[in-house]
Amino acid sequence: PESNRNKEQIRIFKRSICICLSCFDVISMVMVAIGVYARLMKHAEAALACLAVDPAILLIVVGILMFLLTFCGCIGSLRENICLLQTFSLCLTIVFLLQLAAGVLGFVFSDKARGKVSEIINNAIVHYRDDLDLQNLIDFGQKEFSCCGGISYKDWSQNMYFNCSEDNPSRERCSVPYSCCLPTPSQAVINTMCGQGMQALEYLEASKVIYTNGCIDKLVNWIHSNLFLLGGVALGLAIPQLVGILLSQILVNQIKDQIKLQLYNQQ
């Protein structure tokens, strides 16, 4: 009776783990498919020029790692393989601890985190015209947060097309992207040239046409005003990881107990 009860418990935990991990497998495959599709749609020279800031690469990497991790846990539970289950549990624990450490370090060393964010944004500004996905992401961020550039609108001079130097032959010389422009309610069609020559204007004069404040300060203010929302998102990400760790450890213990019981019966 004890052996049958233990087997039934193992069967229940196996089903629970496999159902949970199957959902994550589907999500990871969708992420990889979207990332590969977005990558293939780009020109080869543009793809090679901006690997470090390409959202498609990030989707592919995260999707592959997520698939390997969940596949390892699913196979381990189906085959009752203690080694695979412990590997799955260990990897989930490491991911959880890394997320926790990143959150704590970001809070404690907020100045350094701000500097890293500034570096990422400036790098994205440099490669704005090299990657369509990155361009759309920057435009969305600037319109959503009502900002322009990293620290100010003049940061767009770091881009070779928007640079204000005299030897710049671009038609967008000393301009900013259209996503920096103040919205015009009565305008039916977006004027993509509304940022023409804005970097040459002083702050007060430019503020009548475009957003002059940088996105870093806007992002920091948004984080401070949405701490409960971010905490809820972090908790939502942490709970499935903790449940996965708990279920896998319980299943490992159940399998070990079953093995001990079988050895005892044989003796």
Question: What is the DSSP track for 115-177?
Answer: HHHHHHHHHHHHTTTT-HHHHHHHHHHHHHHT--SSSBGGGGGGSTTT---TT---TTTT---
- Least Cα distance to 124 among 177, 194, 175 occurs for 177
Lowest-confidence pick of 98-112, 146-160, 179-193, 220-234: 98-112
Mean pLDDT of 35-49: 60
Torsion of CA 104, 106, 111, 112, to 10 degrees: 110
Per the structure, the complete domain to which residue 189 belongs is given by 128-221
Q: Is the pLDDT of residue 162 over 80?
A: yes
Statement to judge: residues 103 and 143 lie in one domain? no
The answer to whether position 173 is within a domain reads yes
155 and 213 both lie in a single domain: yes
Look over the chain and give the mean of its residue pLDDT values, rounded to a whole number.
81
Give the pLDDT confidence score for residue 229 in this predicted structure.
Answer: 80
Collapsed DSSP state (helix, strand, coil) of residue 181: strand
Q: Is the dihedral of CA 130, 134, 140, 142 positive or negative?
A: negative
- Comparison of pLDDT for 125 and 231, the residue scoring more: 125
Are residues 164 and 106 part of one domain? no
Quick one: 142 and 208 in the same domain? yes
The confidence score (pLDDT) of residue 211 equals 93
Q: Which two tokens stand for residue 137?
A: 């992401």
Measured distance CA(68)–CA(60) in Å, rounded = 12
Q: Are residues 147 and 103 in the same domain?
A: no
Are 234 and 214 part of one and the same domain?
Answer: no
Reported as a pLDDT band with limits 50, 70 and 90, residue 48 is very low
Is pLDDT of 44 > 80? no
Q: Are residues 101 and 15 in the same domain?
A: yes
pLDDT > 70? residue 99: yes
Residue 123 lies in a domain: no
Quote the CA–CA distance of 86 and 83 in Å, as a whole number.
5
For 105-120, write each residue's pLDDT tens digit.
767 766 776 777 788 8
**pLDDT > 70 fraction of the chain, expressed in percent and rounded:** 88
**Residue 7 pLDDT more than 70?**
no
| Dihedrals phi, psi of 200, to nearest 5 degrees | -80, -10
In a 13 Å sphere around the CA of 132, the CA atoms on its Cβ side amount to: 8
In a domain, 77, yes or no: yes
pTM more than 0.75 = no
Shared domain check, 235 and 144: no
